Every structure is written in structure tokens, then in C-alpha cells.
Structure 1
Amino acid sequence: MGNLSPKLYDIAMKPFERSRFYQIRKSIAGNARGTVLEIGSGTGINFPFYRQADSVAAIEPDEAMRKRSLQRAAEAKVPIRTYAAKAEALPFGDDVFDSVVATLVFCTIPEPEKALREIRRCAKNGAKLYFFEHVRMNQKPIGFLQDAMTPLWQKVAGGCHLNRDTLALIRKSGLNVLEVKPMYDGLFLAITCINEK
């Protein structure tokens, strides 16, 4: 939601975060172990849920979002360091991370294929990857509506693609998809993968 201020973004998301999103984030971040990479950490909404991580490297290219996340990082149960970086050019070496978390971010990444290549490079062999994303729905009328709305929506919502098929992109990247949990009639997907090199 790049055109919303970080504070307004948190307010706009609050009704969703109070419902199933809370449990989804708790499960995803709570399962991330070892050295963790978070892609597009935004205002740090996942930070309170990290429990089993040794440390978290959180990338967020939007300066205002990143600044708003610093208080949550300071209050987290595990060490969290934020980086002003994009997913397509991660400032880390090869085979660094045990887990990767990405929630509601792949819709906005300009070059998702490149981002997935970078994530695979930085993740260790056998690393677990946890995605939670909204996607283009298979139901034709809704899918067509998402297609029609996306050009305008991108302009008002920070480049968000309502119709991006993130699951297909993940499969094409070479990640081994272990589990896909559809929610809200398939509008949202929780996707668990393993990085096998």
C-alpha cells in the first residue's frame, strides 16, 4: 500500500489482522527457525510472532515503513535487524538463511522471478520458506475483475498486482512446494516450501 502512510496502512489492515491474519502470521513467523530472512517486512507486523528464530534479517525498501517497524523490532523476543534493500538484490551471501518469511508482499515486487532467484541463492539447502499471499482467483468472473482492476489498483496501492499468480511463480522458481492452504475461497494462499539445490 505504497501510497498510504505507514500509520494509515496499519489502521487499514487492523480489521484483517484481528481475524485470521493474526493466526496465520503467528503460525508462519512462529515456525521460522534459525537464521531467518523476512522479505518486505513493512511496519514489522510479523516481528512479535518470532519465537524460535535465532535472529531475523528483515528487508524493507520503503523508508517510512521501515522506520515505523523499528519499535516492533526493539520489542521483539529475538534479535531483528532491518535493511533498506529490495528482494531482487539481497545484500547477503549465498546459503545464509535457515528460514524465509514473506507475507503479503509478492503482489508488489516489481520483478518477482528475480526476487525468488535471490531468495533461493541466500537460503540454505533444505531451508523452509513460508509465504502468505493474495492471488488471482480461479473463479472466472472474479479473476476477470481482478485483471480489470489491477492497472488502477497498482497506481493507488504501491504497485500491488491483484491478479498475480504467485503460486505459479513459486513453482516455476524451482522451490519444492510442500503445502498450499487456500483461504477466503482461494483469494489468499499460505504456501510452505523447501529450498532444494
Structure 2
Amino acid sequence: MGNLFPRVYDMAMLPLERTKFNKIRKALVSKASGRVLEIGSGTGINFPYYRNASQVDAIEPNPVMNKRSNKRIESSRIPIQPYLMKAEKLPFADSTFDSVVATLVFCTIPEPVKAIQEIQRVGKPGAKILLFEHVRMNQKLLGKAQDLLTPTWKKICHLNRNTLELLTQANVSIKKIDRHFKGLFLTIECLNEK
């Protein structure tokens, strides 16, 4: 990903963020409460939407994106502590967080099962797990197109990752699923069941 992706990310997302993505993020992130872990915080696009959090620990493995989030951290009403790290190995103690947020990030995580296991470990029993992700589509032709494009795209994003299935296998309690853009994007609300 290097330096190019972070530079282009906010600009590329801007048209989507001004439309439905903005509403989806705001509605989902505002449900996070207490001490919050944000996985793959990127440029801090979710930071303005935290309303009920007492603190946000934001992890991001890309140093350029992490640096670009500083402006949003400075203007946030909630204390936000950024960390330069990956989701597969978190330095936090067991049962630390009341809520975990991940938006449009699971397609980029090299080992998503390990990341989910870490979320479960650092989340308190009953912690909210709130995700907004794109997934492999159920429509045969579109799903096949995602499968064909994934080998080319996978350095940036696994277009055909089935994050919902990974969560089901991890034994989290899925409470609500909303489908957007004909099922290409999902908001998933879960509870941590340890």
C-alpha cells in the first residue's frame, strides 16, 4: 500500500462519504460506548461520530494513514489514542473494551480469523462489536466477478471476503444485519460471547 493508498483514500471516499456511507458510519459508530477499540482507524474518518465513548483506542498499521488522522484526533470531542499496529496481535489486556468498531477494514486484514480472536479476547463479555464491511455478493455473476478480481486486488483489499461467515464461525452473537447497495455492504452488530 505504501504512501499512495493513504493519499488517495480520503479523496476517493469523499463522494461516498457525502452520501449514504456518512449516514451508515454515523449511525453505527454512535452506538459504541464506554472504552472503544477501533480496528483499522485509517485517516480517522469515524472519529467525529463517537458520541457515547469515554475513550477510543484507534489502531492502524499504515504509518501514513495513522499520521493523517492527527487532525481529526485534535478536533475530536472524545479522547482518542492512536496506535501503529495490526489487529492480529493487540497489546491490550483481556476484557479491556466495552465496544469494538471496524469499518471497511476486514477486507484488508491479512489474517482476519486472528483479528476476530483478538477482538474477542480484548473485548469484555457482552461487548458490542460493530462492523461496516463489504462482502462477497450472493448474486452468482457479481460474486464470481469479485472472485476473479480478488487475486489482482488482494494487496489492497480482498473483494470476496465473507466477514459475516468468519464472525459466525467465531461464535460471536450476531444481533442485527443491515444490507446496503444490494448486499455488497453490510452493517453487522454483534455481542462478544466468551
Instruction: Call closer, same or farther: CA 1:141–1:5 in 2, change over 3 Å.
Output: closer
Query: Size of the alignment, in residue pairs?
Result: 194
TM-score (norm 2): 0.97
**Which stretches in structure 2 are left out of the alignment for 5+ residues?**
none
**Distance apart, 1:74 and its partner CA:** 1.1
Closer, same or farther: CA 52–14 of 1 in aligned 2, 3 Å: same
Q: Residues 5 and 64 of structure 1 are in contact (CA less than 8 Å); yes or no, is this contact kept in structure 2? A: no
Alignment of 1:104-119 (within 5 A): 104-119=104-119
Q: How far did residue 153 of structure 1 move?
A: 1.3
Q: Is the 1:96–1:123 Cα contact (8 Å) retained in structure 2?
A: yes
**Unaligned regions of 5+ residues in structure 1, if any?**
none
**Corresponding residue for 1:25?**
25
Matches within 5 A, 1:22-171: 22-155=22-155, 158=156, 160-171=157-168
CA distance in 2, matches of 1:98, 1:2: 32
Query: Once superposed, which parts of structure 1, at least 4 consecutive aligned residues long, lie more than 6 Å away?
Result: none
RMSD (Å) for aligned C-alpha atoms: 1.1
In the TM superposition, residue 108 of structure 1 has moved relative to its aligned partner by 0.6
| % identity of equivalent residues | 58
Residues 3 and 64 in structure 2, CA contact (< 8 A), matched pair in contact too: no
Q: Does the 8 A contact of 1:44 with 1:72 survive in 2? A: yes
Could you tell me the TM-score, scaled by structure 1's length? Answer: 0.96
* 1:91 Cα deviation after fit: 1.2
Partner Cα separation in structure 2 for residue 34 and residue 124 of structure 1: 11
In structure 2, give the amino acid aligned to 1:56. Answer: V
User: How far apart are 1:3 and its partner, in Å?
Assistant: 6.3
CA distance in 1: counterparts of 2:100 and 2:73, whole angstroms: 17
